Amino acid sequence: MAHRDLRGNPCASTSATAREAAERALWRMMSFYDVPIADLDTAIAADPGWAMPYLMKAGFLLSLTEPALVPEAAGHLAQARAHAEQATPRERAHLEAVQRLLEGRWHGACRIWDELLVEHPRDALALQWAQLWDFYRGDVAGLRGRPARALPEWDESDPLYAHVLALYAFGLEESHLQPQAEEAGRRALAIEPRSPWAVHAVAHVMEMQGRFEEGGAWLRQHQGAWAEGNGFAGHLWWHKALFRLEALDLVGVLRLVDKHLSGEALQITLQRVDAAAMLWRLHLLGEDVSERCAALLRGWDLGDPGDHGEYAAAGYYAFNDVHAVLAMLGAGDVHRAEAWVARCAERAMAPEDARRTNHQMAREVGLPLMRGLLAWQRGAATAACEQIYPIRALAQRIGGSHAQRDLIDLTLLAAASSGGHRGLGRALVNERRMAKPVTPLTRHWMEALGDPEGERA
């Protein structure tokens, strides 16, 4: 008979030590407090024949979206598969989902987790991983719907309940259900103050509503919980910089970039993506960030654009590819950016890559966006608008959040204000003004587009 975890989910391990270590690893994955590898090693040492710790290692490494880590993840998954006969059906479903991640078939992995959660709605690992890959795929319905279907089956006394509620809060926010999202995020923090994903969800609400002063205060209020020893800290520093950018406090933004979004603070691609995104926003506002972008690139393992290996960096994930281009263009290295885009295009068109989720992402959004960015950097503002504007309605398919994808609109505003298409720029400003109060950043673009007195504000 299978043993059970804390939520009653069947698991194959007979070792209480192994199960407890895996539970700690799961908490780390959901709370971002330190990495789970040491706990999973403890679980493996206590029960070497249990498949779950191996596949949890594989899934965690794949969640970092680092092509260089894929071979290591494949090794852990092979070890999990070697013990699959002893695994429960639930554990084998997880194994198959992570196998699809390894193959780049992210849609398929999320379908497996969807089915798994119908039978096991208290499977926190399935909820956590599905949310991450829904986010990477831009699946807003999944971000909101999957935790919504599961939460009524949970007990608030469960130590992971607040983290699941935080997942739901973020899904609500990305679905433009801002009041409900804020309520859920605040409730999660009332249950568990150490829930950075809940802090994050409420910060997104405030960003979408133009509450930049309140947003900065919100992050300061909870800074003691998220700023030290938490893997999510870099992204929350990015949000803090985003609030300062909305206030046009560029000195404050640069101070945050230099302290928290550069140098040794950047350990993984996801953190470098945030740094590139913030530097690009500053670049659009006329700040010289070339040296900072060059330094960012020096620490970013992007490999050789000519690398045609299965795990080459270029073309692995379109969202990251776009941000690499932002850093290259911000550094003034147009030639390198062109070579990068060419390699991404080659990979997106390759028949052997057609089953990968990124294949469609790159073709529909990533490549047109990167080509538009190249046009903008070359001074072809009208061409940039013509390349970028049509993919705006599809941009969700590249993954990320509304706040992250806002750099598309900001790039269009910069191109339009430089003479590329002023009517488009004014239309985008109108849309922005209808979505939230006029902030200093919005007023900047209004003035750049010919409304010097801000009369329409």
Tell me, yes or no, whether 43 lies in a domain. yes
Q: How far apart are CA 259 and CA 373, in angstroms?
A: 27
Instruction: Find tokens 């199960």 and name the residue.
Output: 19
Within a domain: residue 437? no
The answer to whether the beta carbons of residues 88 and 116 sit under 8 Å apart is no
Q: Is 70 within the bounds of a domain?
A: yes
pLDDT average, residue stretch 125-146: 97
Residue 146 has a pLDDT of 97
- Quick check: 446 and 457 in contact, CB under 8 A? yes
How many CB atoms lie under 10 A from the CB of residue 430?
Answer: 12
Q: Is residue 217 part of a domain?
A: no
Distance CA 112, CA 361 (A): 21
Q: Cβ(65)–Cβ(320) under 8 Å?
A: yes
Q: Residue type at 247?
A: A
pLDDT in tens, 197-230: 999 999 999 999 999 999 999 999 999 999 988 9
> Token match 């060419």: residue?
342
Per cent of the chain over pLDDT 70 is 96
- Domain assignment present for residue 119? The answer is yes
Residue 1's domain spans which residues? Answer: 1-138
d(CA 146, CA 248): 37
Flag whether pLDDT at 456 surpasses 80. Answer: no
Cα distance between residue 23 and residue 34, in whole Å: 14
Q: What is the CATH number of the domain that holds 133?
A: 1.25.40
Alpha helices in 103-160 (DSSP H): 106-119, 124-137, 140-150
> What distance in Å separates the CA atoms of residue 270 and residue 67, rounded to the nearest whole number?
12
Asked if residue 11 belongs to a domain, the reply is: yes
> What digits encode the pLDDT tens for the residues 83-105?
999 999 999 999 999 999 999 99
**pTM greater than the 0.85 cutoff:** yes
What integer pLDDT is reported at residue 306 of this predicted model?
A: 59
Q: So what's the pLDDT on residue 420?
A: 73
For 30-67, the pLDDT digits (tens) are: 999 999 999 999 999 999 999 999 999 999 999 999 99
The whole-number pLDDT of residue 173 equals 98
CA angle 82, 86, 87 (to 5 degrees): 90
Confidence of residue 281 (pLDDT cuts 50, 70, 90): very high
Strand partners, 11: 3
Check: CB of residue 240 under 8 Å from CB of residue 256.
Answer: yes
- 60 is a domain residue: yes
CA 36 to CA 28: how far, in whole Å? 6
Q: Residue 457 above 90 pLDDT?
A: no
Q: Is residue 422 part of a domain?
A: no
Could you give the number of structural domains in the chain?
1
pLDDT tens digits, one per residue of 374-392 = 999 999 999 999 999 999 9
Lowest mean pLDDT among 308-312, 384-388, 404-408: 308-312
